[in-house]
Amino acid sequence: MLNVQTAGALAGVKVVDLSRVLGGPYATQVLGDHGAEVIKVEPPGGDETREWGPPFRDDGARRGPSGYYLNVNRNKRGIALDLRKAEGRAALLRLLQDADVLIENFKSGTLEKWDLGFEAVLQPLFPRLIQARVSGFGSEGPYGGFPGYDAVVQTMTGLSSVTGSPASGPVKMGTPVIDIASGLNAVIGILLALRERDRTGKGQLVEVALYDVGLSLLHPHSANWLWGRKMPTLTGNAHPNVAPYDLFATATRPVFLGVGNDGQVKKAFAVLGIPELGEDPRFNTMAARNANRAELTAILAPIFARHDGVALARTLLEAGVPAGPLNTVQEALEEPHTAVRKMTIATEGYKGMGSPIKLSATPASLRKLPPDFGADTDAVLGEAGFDAEAIAALRRSGAIPPK
């Protein structure tokens, strides 16, 4: 569980979050976990992931937000604002007067269409503002401005082509890895821009495109092609450059054996009762093991098949060999080590994943539960200088939805 009510390393940083779905919200949750004040601005229809269920937080006629939404939107306040209306855009500009960061994932050109472009409008008005843009393909190039979702970009950047086995054919990864990595890259970009602003006093535009991120995740296949013109093949759980590095069936649960150097191989062979293979010229170097991986796999498979998977993985780990049993999602989340690492949260009716970023002096904290739709609209606008009548006028104009 996260430490509760610590200020956080980003205390004092104000973030206006116009993003929806996953990449942007994941980024702003990271910022919020570490102390930033995050104001989530949703359109009149809300973030569509509120409906991406089941499961939902509540049952009944008004189900409440989905687990999907709840898992990436804590430590934020929520308001509703229609930026298609001039009054909504004017309200946004008021919110940006003391903001440090604006993050959005609109289709490229949308803010410009609304006269909210960074170079033409926002940077002259707010020189210290950092705008982070998460998009499918970026604003330039043959695909510039096109919409992009994680699975589509996995396919286009080659990630799906290296995932799967000869039997399965190419498959997308089981998690939206590009969306999440794009969120993390957005956080990195924002922190870099904040550091540069400390030096110059000026903000800048941070652009993160899912397409670029997908390509950046192709290692080592990109290196194998760039340096050796080597095209990857579908190898299932095996590694194209390392052996033995694969999932082995056991008498109980499969175990992944992953060794990265000759010393680890010798330790693994000793645990498995075949220490002589450590000196065998077929297997005593990485290049030799790669050249003879089929023969090595044929030797290892029946040995693994005789063991209990969990016990064998533990013995290998204790010997200094990277190995682990194949866990289900439930087994991984209920693993005692997960609890010790504070990687799950269950408090005040909220359940979610903990922060993987462990800071000794300013740890992440749970300060706000994910907001209900528009829950903080009046309070946030009041803090921005709108009195009760001005807020009522915004409601009458349709810039903010009725209560």
SS3 readout for 19-78: CCCCHHHHHHHHHHHCCCEEEEEECCCCCHHHHCCCCECCCCCCCCCEHHHHCCCCCCEE
Residue 387 backbone dihedrals phi, psi, to 5 degrees: -85, 180
Whether 4 has a pLDDT exceeding 90, the answer reads no
Active site residue 387: no
Instruction: Kindly report the average pLDDT of the chain as a whole number.
Output: 94
What's residue 307's pLDDT? Answer: 97
May I ask the CATH class of domain 255-325?
A: alpha beta
What number is the average pLDDT over the span 177-204? 98
DSSP assignment string, 185-242: HHHHHHHHHHHHHHHHS---EEEEEHHHHHHHTTTTHHHHHHHH-PPP---TT--SS-
For 243, what's the count of Cα atoms within 13 Å in the CB-facing half-sphere? 23
Q: Tell me if 3-217+340-397 shares its fold with 255-325.
A: no
pTM: 0.93
What number is the average pLDDT over the span 238-259? 95
Spatial distance between the Cα atoms of 389 and 59, rounded to a whole number of angstroms:
36
Per-residue pLDDT reduced to its tens digit, 62-93: 568 999 999 999 999 999 999 999 999 999 99
Q: Which pLDDT band holds residue 371 (cuts at 50, 70, 90)? A: very high
Instruction: Identify the DSSP state of 122.
Output: I
**Beta strand 14-17 with 37-42: parallel, antiparallel or unpaired?**
parallel
Q: Which pLDDT band holds residue 7 (cuts at 50, 70, 90)? A: confident
From 183, 162, 180, select the one nearest 171 (Cα to Cα): 162
* Cβ-based neighbour number of residue 84 at 10 Å: 13
More confident residue, 147 or 99: 99
What number is the average pLDDT over the span 364-371? 95
Catalytic one of 100, 179, 246, 378? 179
Angle between helical axes of 23-33 and 177-200 (0-180°, round to 10): 50
What's residue 62's pLDDT? Answer: 53
What's residue 326's pLDDT? Answer: 96
What's residue 5's pLDDT? Answer: 61
How far lies 51's CA from each of 19, 46, 374, in Å? 16, 9, 15
What's residue 1's pLDDT? Answer: 41
CB 257 within 8 A of CB 248: yes
**Beta strand 365-366 with 344-347: parallel, antiparallel or unpaired?**
unpaired
Domain boundaries, the chain: 3-217+340-397, 255-325
Q: Give buried/exposed letters for 330-365 (b at 16+ CB in 10 A, else e).
A: eeeeeeeebeeebbbbeeeeeebebbeeeeeeebbb
What number is the average pLDDT over the span 41-65? 85
What number is the average pLDDT over the span 305-319? 97
Q: Which two tokens stand for residue 24?
A: 């942007």
Spatial distance between the Cα atoms of 136 and 391, rounded to a whole number of angstroms:
35
Which CATH code is given to the segment(s) 3-217+340-397? 3.40.50.10540
Per-residue pLDDT reduced to its tens digit, 106-137: 988 899 999 999 999 999 999 999 999 999 99
